[in-house]
Amino acid sequence: MHNFEHAEACVLTRKTISAAVLELGEDHETTLLLRHQLCQGLIRGGAQTRDDIADALESIIDAFKRFQRVFGVSHPHTNAAWLDLLYTRNMLTEDEPEKIPQHVKDLKWRGSGKWSTTTRVGESSRADAEDESR
């Protein structure tokens, strides 16, 4: 997709998000998926500067938090947003790999839709915290 087409797609997606918020609400699945789709578009095709990438990162963090709150940490939408969050964070630090946070480097897939980080004694991982809440 060319930059013009991509920019137009982002504008249309933003308008659709506004309509979805009014009709369905902020936390409706369709609204959340549209927000995530916009973030993916910004990340994969439209972010031209580091500021654009930083804006996309803020958007995907918001989408991830909403998915986590609405659907839980094991839901596929939450996991997809988490991967995009990591991808975007790495885009900001790819020129300076030493700035990638250690907890991102240590991220490992545990299976069953759960993400885990290598933790030190006495610390718990994100997936462990979910297990304890059940």
The three-point CA angle 101-51-96 to 5° equals 35
pLDDT tens digits, residue range 57-103? Answer: 888 888 888 999 999 988 999 988 888 888 888 877 765 555 555 55
Could you give the maximum distance between any two Cα atoms of the chain, in Å? 51
pLDDT at 105: 54
pLDDT at 99: 54
pLDDT at 123: 42
pTM as predicted: 0.63
Query: How far apart are the two ends of the chain, measured CA to CA in Å?
Result: 44
Instruction: Report DSSP letters for 22-47, one per residue.
Output: HHH-TTSHHHHHHHHHHHHHIIIII-
